């Protein structure tokens, strides 16, 4: 838990305070707990944390943790004050806080930062994790930057954090300030990477391939990887979508989530059995959605000029470990 420094509070900027929060595991856990509360009640006001249990989100696969301190622990107040100094919370009267409009997207990202070290990347493929240091790495579909920060902490020489969403990239820029000159943030699609051939040594991608055209994206990964380069891809198993169907709720959001799960199962079956990648249509845009199995990935990866060297089942999110030939 970070200690309050009252002498420097007046000089600290919100971004400096946010950097302290993201570097402190208990503060990240507290922010992730608040994100769960806000999903349940966007207008929630917090003063004293009487019930420390995390509020789960049935539509999210990222768990919400419990509050990191026992009821009545003075550190609860300290972390709420720190979140307010960082601009994530605003005061309601003298003793209570609610989420600020600018702080909501940051708080919403913190469950992923908290869960990052619990998703098994470190143990999944030591050859990848142990060789990130000093390498050029692409975080393909970086989202809010949890993977980017992890790669920088592993010692990457430079990380290209790439995502198609300007909003998510904005959050990533704020939550991965430790990167500094070690990272660049690029808005683009993984299906058409604005990078030179062979310019990266490693690729990390968390749950992006299920939502894009597999062949185009894997071909782009193979193109930008240097000879002998490695890629670690977090994917979706069929059970990811089946579990979502089993948890369906009789709400508009629940029905929408169930529809997407059906698309994911149909898309995965078409990819696995027919070798086709249907592009589904919604009221706003077309989209891809599919699960992956080991055999399907092995065929696709080989077609794109790489090799599937390891497959880690990892529950609903299997991990594909790829290598490009020398």
**Domain-located, residue 246:** no
Pair (103, 36) in one structural domain: yes
Tell me the pLDDT tens digit for each residue of 194-252: 999 999 999 999 999 999 999 999 999 999 999 999 999 999 999 999 988 887 777 77
Q: Is the pLDDT of residue 179 over 60?
A: no
Final residue before a domain boundary, out of 46, 81, 115: 115
My answer on whether 318 and 185 are in the same domain is yes
Domain termination site, one of 58, 85, 115: 115
pLDDT digits (tens, 9 = 90+) for 314-325: 889 999 999 999
Query: Cα 2 to chain center, whole Å?
Result: 24
Verify that 75 and 132 share a domain, yes or no. no
| Residue 12: pLDDT band with limits 50, 70, 90 | low
Instruction: Count CB-CB contacts under 10 A for residue 169.
Output: 20
Instruction: Answer yes or no: is 105 within a domain.
Output: yes
Q: Which of 81, 115, 149 is the last residue of a domain?
A: 115
Say which DSSP state 62 is in: S
Residue 262 covered by a domain: no
164 and 218 part of one domain: yes
Number of domains in the chain: 2
d(CA 84, CA 76): 13
Structural domain that includes position 27: 6-115
185 and 102 belong to one structural domain:
no
Same domain? For 39 and 134 the reply is no
Beta strands 136-140 and 200-206, pairing class: parallel
Q: Are residues 99 and 123 in the same domain?
A: no
* Cα atoms found within 13 Å of the Cα of residue 187, Cβ hemisphere only: 8
Question: Does residue 259 form part of some domain?
Answer: no
Q: What is the mean pLDDT of the chain?
A: 90
Q: In the prediction, which pLDDT does 204 show?
A: 98
Closest CA to 81 of 32, 46, 33: 46
Burial of 170 (0-12, 13-18, 19+ CB in 10 A): middle
Per DSSP, 59 falls in state T
Q: What is the pLDDT of residues 144-170, one digit of tens each?
A: 999 999 999 999 999 999 999 999 999
73 and 140 assigned to the same domain: no
pLDDT of residue 6: 38
Place of tokens 């890629």: 231
pTM comes to: 0.91
Between CA 221 and CA 183 the distance in angstroms is 19
The CA-to-CA distance between both ends of the chain, in Å, stands at: 46
The pLDDT, as a whole number, for residue 154 is 92
């Amino acid at each position: 838990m970070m200690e309050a420094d009252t002498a420097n509070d007046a000089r600290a900027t919100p971004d400096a305070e946010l950097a302290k929060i993201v570097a402190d595991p208990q503060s990240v856990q507290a922010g992730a707990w608040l994100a769960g509360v806000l999903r349940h009640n966007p207008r929630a006001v917090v003063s004293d944390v009487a019930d420390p249990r995390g509020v789960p989100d049935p539509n999210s696969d990222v768990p919400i943790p419990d509050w990191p301190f026992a009821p009545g622990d003075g550190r609860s107040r300290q972390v709420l004050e720190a979140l307010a100094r960082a601009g994530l919370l605003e005061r309601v009267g003298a003793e209570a806080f609610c989420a600020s409009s600018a702080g909501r997207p940051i708080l919403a990202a913190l469950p992923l930062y908290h869960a990052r070290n619990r998703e098994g990347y470190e143990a999944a493929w030591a050859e990848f994790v142990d060789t990130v240091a000093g390498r050029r790495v692409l975080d393909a579909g970086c989202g809010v930057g949890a993977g980017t920060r992890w790669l920088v902490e592993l010692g990457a020489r430079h990380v290209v954090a790439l995502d198609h969403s300007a909003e998510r990239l904005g959050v990533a820029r704020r939550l991965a300030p430790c990167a500094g000159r070690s990272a660049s943030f690029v808005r683009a699609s993984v299906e058409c990477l604005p990078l030179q051939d062979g310019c990266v040594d490693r690729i990390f991608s968390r749950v992006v391939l299920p939502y894009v055209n597999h062949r185009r994206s894997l071909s782009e990964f193979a193109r930008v990887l240097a000879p002998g380069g490695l890629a670690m891809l977090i994917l979706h198993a069929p059970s990811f979508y089946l579990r979502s169907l089993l948890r369906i709720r009789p709400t508009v959001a629940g029905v929408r989530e169930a529809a997407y799960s059906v698309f994911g199962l149909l898309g995965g079956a078409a990819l696995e059995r027919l070798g086709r990648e249907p592009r589904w249509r919604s009221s706003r845009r077309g989209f891809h959605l599919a699960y992956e199995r080991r055999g399907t990935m092995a065929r696709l990866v080989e077609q794109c000029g790489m090799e599937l060297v390891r497959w880690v089942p990892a529950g609903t999110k299997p991990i594909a470990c790829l290598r490009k030939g020398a």
